[in-house]
Structure 1
Amino acid sequence: MSVTRTVATWTTAVLAAATLASCAESERDDEGGSGSGDDGTFVFGAAGAPEMFDPFYATDGETFRITRQMFEGLLGIEPGSAEVVPELATEWTPNEDGTEWTFTLRDDVTFHDGEPFNAEAVCYNFERMFDQNEAGQTAGEYWGYVMGAFSNDAENSLYQGCEATDEFEAVISISGPTSGFPTMLTLESLSMQSPKALEEGDANGIAAEGEGFSFPAYADAPVGTGPFTFGEYDEANGSITLARNDDYWGEAAQVSEVVFRVIPDESTRRQELEAGSINGYDLPNPVDWAGLEEDGNSVEVRDPFNILYLGLNPEANPQLKDLKVRQAIYHALNREQLVQTQLPEGAAVATQFMPDTVSGYNTELEPYAYDPDEAKRLLAEAGAEGMTLNFAYPTEVTRPYMPDPQKIYEALRTDLEAVGIKVKVSTASWNGGYLDNVSGEPGKYDAYILGWTGDYDSAYNFIGTFFGNLKDNDFGTDVMPWGKQLADDLKAADAIVDEDERGAAFEEINRQIMEEYLPGLPISHSPPALVVGPGVEGVIPSPLTAEEFDTVSVGGE
C-alpha cells in the first residue's frame, strides 16, 4: 500500500550499483519458449473470493493470487526470495539525479490477445493508471500509496510521465529519487495489460456503488502477458479457471490448467485435500502441520515477512485520541500467550510495525508488557474506565498473519474485558464489507484486527503504508496532532539515498511510533505455510506469499 517521496542527492556509486544490478537476466528469460508442460490440472483451495480480476483495482491477497498467474510487470521477484529480477524489462538505468529511468524491454512478448508488448504499451499502461476518475482513485489505492497522487494532482505525484523513446525502450520520469523506485514496479497492481483490451473493455469505467464499486466489463476479462490466461469464473460454485498460455515468451507452464476453488473454511480445505479434490491450499492451521505431513502431504513454511496488528480508529471513537487509553489497551493484551496458543512455531511478539529482517527495524525497542493492573490504572487516569469498543474481526478468510481470525479476536476480547473494557462485537466477511468498513471515511470500527505482508523489502512499504498518507490511512492519523509530522518524517526518510542513513532515520521513526504516538498496536509476526498433496512438485514458497504456479506439476502418489 504506500511509498511517497521527495528529492535527495543521488550518488554516482548508487547509480553504478543500480545499473549493475539491473543487468542480471532471469532464469525464465534464459529458458524462453522451451517445454510444453503436461495436461494436468492443479486445483488450489482459495481462502476467499476475488474482488475482480483487474490487478490495478485489487487490494487483497486472494485476488492477487489469481492475477499473479496471468500478469507480469516490468520487474519481477526471484521465486523464493524478495530479490528484484528482470521480467518484462531486461535492464533499467537511472540518470544522474535519479529522476528518469530508462527501461530496456523484452522484444519477444505478446499479450494474450495477440497484441504486441512494446514501449507504447508500457506508456499506455502508466497513463491509464495515472488518469483515474474519482472512484478509480479510491479503488486504485496501490497507485495512490506508491505514487502519491493521480493526474488531477500531478504536481504531488511521484510519476511524472512516460515516453517511448524506441520500440523497446521506455523512459519513466519521477519527481525525485525514493527507496521504493523502481522496486515498486514489482507490485501486482502495476502489471502490464493489453492496451487494446483495456480500451475495448472500458477499463477505467469504474463507478462508486453503495460502499463499494461497480467494475467495468474489462475487470471480468483481463488480458496480460503471463504464463496463464483467464478462462472463466463460475461465481455460483466459487471456481476460477486459468488456461496455460501456449504462446508465452518464457518456459511454458507445467500444467494445462490452474483451478482456484473458493473454500473459506480452513478445516473444509483440509478435508478436500484429504479427499483428493484439491491439490493444495494456503495457510493450513498450524496445529495440523504435523498431521498433514504424516499423511504424505508437503507443508511448505515461508519465512515471516508480515505483521498482525490491532488497528485503532480515533475518528470512530474519540477516547482513542488519548495516548494513555491506547497504552492501556496494549498493556491489557497477553500477546505472548496468543503467540503460543494461536500461531505456528516460529511466530514472535512484535515490538514495532515491521519484521526484524527489514532495514530500519529498531533493535532497542522492547515489547509492551502484559500488565492488566497498569492497563486499569491508565484507563482510570484517562477517565475511560468502563469504555466501550466497537471491536471487529473478519470472517470467511485466513491470512498469513492471522490463521484463525475468530480465535485471535476472542483471545484479545477476553483480555480487554478483563480490564473493564466493554466490547461490542462486529464482524463481516473479508471482501463482503470488512475491508470497506475498516478503510471507509471514517472507518466504522473503533478497533479491528488486520495485518500486512510486505510487498518488497522496504521500511516504507510497512510503516509508510500505514502512516505515510495522512488523508488516506486506516488509523485516522489525520485527526491526531502528530499525524502530519509522522507522514512528513516518513517521506523525508524514504528520500534518503544512503542506505545506512535511511535505516537510522527509520529506526528513530519506529521509536517515535511506539513510544510517543502508538497509532495502533503491533501484535505478532508469523511464518505462514501452504500445503500441497502427494505428487505435487515445483511449488516454491515465497516470503511475500507471492507464489507462481507455472513451475508446479501434478503427478501420481
Structure 2
Amino acid sequence: MVHSRTARRRWTAAIGLTGVAALALSACAQSERDGDSGAGQVGGTLTFGAAGAPKLFDPFYATDGETFRVSRQMYEGLVGFKPGTAEVEPALATKWESTPDGKTWTFTLKEGVKFHDDTDFNAEAVCFNFERWYNQKGAGQSDAVSQYWLDNFGGFADTPDKPSLYKSCKASDPKTAVIELNEATSQFPSVLGFTSFSISSPAALKQYDADNVVAAGDSFTYPAYANEHPTGTGPFKFSKFDKANNVVELVRNDGYHGEKAKLDKIVFRIIPDETARKQALEAGDIDGYDLPNAADWPGLKEKGFNVAVRPAFNVLYLGINQKNNPKLQDLKVRQALMYAINREQLVKSQLPEGASVATQFMPDTVEGYNGSITEVKYDPEKAKSLLAEAGASDLTLNFYWPTEVTRPYMPSPKDIQSAIAGDLEKAGIKLNVTSKPWNGGYLTDVDQGIPDLFMLGWTGDNGTPQNWIGTFFGRTDNRFNTSASPWGQALADELAAANSEPDEAKRKGMYEDLNKKIMEEYLPAIPVSHSPPALVLKSDIKGVVPSPLTDERFGPASKG
C-alpha cells in the first residue's frame, strides 16, 4: 500500500523508534572492498527463506511483500528510508526543494550512477520513468497491476474523469529533475521511496517491451522485462529465477555507485510453510527468514539465532463489505460487530508480546493519530442489543479468511479467524466461513467484493496518515465498497482535503478529526490490533537492520 523534506514541510517521520538501535543485528562499516578494514567479511551467499514467490521483477507492477523484498535489493528510488526508521533520506537524489505551494519539486541527482546495463542514470531517465507510469494503457491501468500508482497518484494521462496528482517532469540538466504536481500532497516526496516507484533503465524498458501487460480473464501476463530483465541501479543484479527449484538468485553489482555489497550472492529460497522455514533454518539450509511465529521466538533465541523484533507499525482489521448485505450499511450493525469481538483477549492469546488493541486504523506513532478515541470494550450483550435495534438479530454473513500466508499483522490467520468467528457467533451472528489461499483466490475474491467480512491488514509504507486511512478510504472503489454507503464519497473528499492542506499543524488536526469520525460516525471496518513482527537470522549474518516498514536492505549484509 508513502514515504528530506524541505524545512517548510519537514516531517521526520521518526516514528518513536527509540529502541531501533538495539534491534539492529549489526551495523556495517565501509566495505573492505573499498579499502576499509570493516567489520563485515567480503564474499559468500546469503540464503533467505521466502514465504512466497515474487510475482514479477518490475517493481512498478508489484503489490506484494515477497516481490518487494527481492526488488528493493536491485532497485533504488529518488529517496529512501533511513535504516530502522520511516525517516526519508536521500537515495538517487541528493537533495530536493519545493515551491511554497508544494506543487513543484526540484531534485538534484547523484552523478556517476549507472544502471545494471551500464547506461547512465540522469534526469532524463527519471522523467522517462514518470512518463512511463503516467502513460500506462489498457491492462496496465488495472488496479491489480498499477495499484500503487492509483492509490498514490490517481489517474493516467488518458483518464480525464480520474485526474492524476502527477502533472509533468522536466530534465533541466542531467542532474536536475523538476516534477510538477497538480496539487500539494502530504505524501511528497516520501512516496518516491516506495519500491514501486524505483527508477528503471529506460533502455531496458524499451528493449524488453516493459509496458506490454496483457489481461487474460482475471489474471495478467507480463513482458520479458518484468520476468527476465529487471534493470535498476541497486547493489545487486538479477541472475535467475529457477521456478523448478523455487529459487531466485541475485549477484553483486560490482559497478554499484555506493558502498559495494559484501555478499557475492543472495538466494531467495521459496518455502511457503512457516514451520518448514524454521526447520530449514535450524538445519542450516537457510540463513534467515521473515515473520517467525511468536511462539517460536524464545526457542530460536535459546538456539543462538538473532530474533530482531520490529516496532508494531501495522494494523489488522476485520473488513466489512458495504455492498452485498444492506444490513451492513446500518452503523448500528457495524458497531455491534465491534462490540462482539474480544479484541483484548485476541491480542493476549494470539499475538506476540508488545501487540496492542487498535483504537483506529493507524498506530500512535503516525502523525494524525487521535489519542482521545476511547477503546470499544468487548460487550456481547451490547452487540445483541444493537443488532435488535437495527432489526438484524437474524444476521447471517459470509466470512472469508486466508490460508497459505503469514503477514506481519496476522501471524496465524486460522487461529485469529477462529477467535473472531467464535466471538461473533456468541453474539448471535451466523457465519458461512470460507477459506482460500492468499494468492490462490482469497485476495481476488476480496477485491471483487464477494465476502461480507474478511481479514486483512496493512504495514505502513511511511509515517504519513494518508498512507494509512487515505489508502484504505481515499477511494470509494475500495475493498470495503464504501461507494455503496451515503458517507463513502464524503469520507474520500475529506481525506483529499486533508492530504492537500499545505499547513502542517492544520493538516495534523484534520487527520485527527477524521480518525474520530471514521471510528464514531462511519466505521467502514473494524481495526483489531497492532502487532510487532520479527525477522530471524543466523548469528553470523551482520549488517541487516530491521525496518518498521519491512524495508530491509541486504547491501550492507555480510556473512561469517
Whether these two folds match at TM > 0.5 is yes
**% identical equivalent positions:** 55
Question: What does residue 134 of structure 1 align with?
Answer: 138
Question: What does residue 6 of structure 1 align with?
Answer: none
User: For 1:449, which of 426, 433, 455 is the aligned residue?
Assistant: 455
Question: What does residue 485 of structure 1 align with?
Answer: 490
How many angstroms apart in 2 are the aligned matches of 1:246 and 1:86? 21
Aligned ranges 1:104-253 → 2 under 5 Å: 104-138=108-142, 139-153=145-159, 156-220=163-227, 221-253=229-261
How many angstroms apart in 1 are the aligned matches of 2:304 and 2:10? 46
Question: What does residue 78 of structure 2 align with?
Answer: 74
Q: Render the CA deviation track for 1:109-143: whole Å, top value 9, x for unaligned.
A: 11111111111111110000111123211210101
The amino acid across from 2:174 in the alignment is: E
The alpha carbon displacement at 1:304 in A equals: 1.1
How many angstroms apart in 2 are the aligned matches of 1:28 and 1:250? 14
Q: 1:218 to 1:146 in 2, by over 3 A?
A: same
The amino acid across from 1:528 in the alignment is: P
Q: Render the CA deviation track for 1:280-335: whole Å, top value 9, x for unaligned.
A: 01111111111110000010011111100000112133321111111111111111
User: SS at the partner of 1:336?
Assistant: helix
User: For 2:406, which of 384, 398, 406 is the aligned residue?
Assistant: 398
Does the 8 A contact of 1:49 with 1:431 survive in 2? Answer: no
The amino acid across from 1:203 in the alignment is: A
Question: What does residue 8 of structure 1 align with?
Answer: none
The alpha carbon displacement at 1:503 in A equals: 1.1
Does the 8 A contact of 1:2 with 1:466 survive in 2? Answer: no
Does the 8 A contact of 1:397 with 1:430 survive in 2? Answer: yes
Does the 8 A contact of 2:238 with 2:251 survive in 1? Answer: yes
Aligned ranges 1:363-402 → 2 under 5 Å: 363-402=371-410
Q: 1:76 to 1:31 in 2, by over 3 A?
A: farther
Does the 8 A contact of 2:204 with 2:225 survive in 1? Answer: yes
User: For 2:466, which of 445, 460, 478 is the aligned residue?
Assistant: 460
The amino acid across from 2:225 in the alignment is: Y
Q: Does 1:551 align with 2:556?
A: yes
For structure 1, the residue ranges without an aligned partner over 5 or more in a row are: 4-13, 22-26
User: SS at the partner of 2:555?
Assistant: helix
The amino acid across from 1:295 in the alignment is: K
Question: What does residue 285 of structure 1 align with?
Answer: 293
How many angstroms apart in 2 are the aligned matches of 1:340 and 1:115? 53
Does the 8 A contact of 1:2 with 1:468 survive in 2? Answer: no
Question: What does residue 298 of structure 1 align with?
Answer: 306
Question: What does residue 499 of structure 2 align with?
Answer: 494
The amino acid across from 2:61 in the alignment is: Y
How many angstroms apart in 2 are the aligned matches of 1:134 and 1:476? 23
Q: Does 1:469 align with 2:460?
A: no
Q: Does 1:539 align with 2:544?
A: yes
Please report the RMSD computed on the Cα atoms of aligned residues, expressed in angstroms: 2.1
Q: Does 1:512 align with 2:517?
A: yes
Does the 8 A contact of 1:33 with 1:249 survive in 2? Answer: no
Does the 8 A contact of 1:31 with 1:250 survive in 2? Answer: no
User: For 2:69, which of 61, 65, 68 is the aligned residue?
Assistant: 65
The amino acid across from 1:330 in the alignment is: M
Question: What does residue 351 of structure 1 align with?
Answer: 359
The alpha carbon displacement at 1:431 in A equals: 2.0
Q: Please report the TM-score for the alignment, with normalisation by the length of structure 1.
A: 0.93
The alpha carbon displacement at 1:386 in A equals: 3.0
How many angstroms apart in 2 are the aligned matches of 1:88 and 1:32? 23
Q: 1:501 to 1:20 in 2, by over 3 A?
A: closer
The alpha carbon displacement at 1:497 in A equals: 2.0
How many angstroms apart in 1 are the aligned matches of 2:2 and 2:454? 20
Q: 1:500 to 1:31 in 2, by over 3 A?
A: farther
Q: Does 1:338 align with 2:346?
A: yes
Following superposition, which runs of at least 4 residues in structure 1 exceed 3 angstroms of deviation?
A: 14-21, 27-33
Q: Render the CA deviation track for 1:382-424: whole Å, top value 9, x for unaligned.
A: 2222322211111211111111111111111111121222222
Using the TM superposition, name which of 497-506 and 303-312 deviates more: 497-506
Using the TM superposition, name which of 504-513 and 233-242 deviates more: 233-242
The alpha carbon displacement at 1:504 in A equals: 1.0
Q: Does 1:410 align with 2:418?
A: yes
User: For 1:429, which of 409, 434, 437 is the aligned residue?
Assistant: 437
Question: What does residue 16 of structure 2 align with?
Answer: none
Does the 8 A contact of 1:75 with 1:89 survive in 2? Answer: yes
Q: Render the CA deviation track for 1:314-363: whole Å, top value 9, x for unaligned.
A: 21333211111111111111111110011110100000000001111110
Q: Please report the TM-score for the alignment, with normalisation by the length of structure 2.
A: 0.92
The amino acid across from 1:420 in the alignment is: G
Q: 1:296 to 1:39 in 2, by over 3 A?
A: same
Q: 1:407 to 1:137 in 2, by over 3 A?
A: same
Q: 1:398 to 1:475 in 2, by over 3 A?
A: same
User: SS at the partner of 1:550?
Assistant: coil
How many angstroms apart in 1 are the aligned matches of 2:28 and 2:51? 29
The alpha carbon displacement at 1:2 in A equals: 7.5
The amino acid across from 1:212 in the alignment is: S
Aligned ranges 1:245-284 → 2 under 5 Å: 245-284=253-292
The alpha carbon displacement at 1:30 in A equals: 9.2
The alpha carbon displacement at 1:262 in A equals: 1.5
User: SS at the partner of 1:551?
Assistant: coil
Aligned ranges 1:9-24 → 2 under 5 Å: 16-17=7-8
Q: Does 1:528 align with 2:528?
A: no
User: SS at the partner of 2:74?
Assistant: coil
Does the 8 A contact of 2:2 with 2:463 survive in 1? Answer: no
User: SS at the partner of 2:456?
Assistant: strand
Question: What does residue 337 of structure 2 align with?
Answer: 329
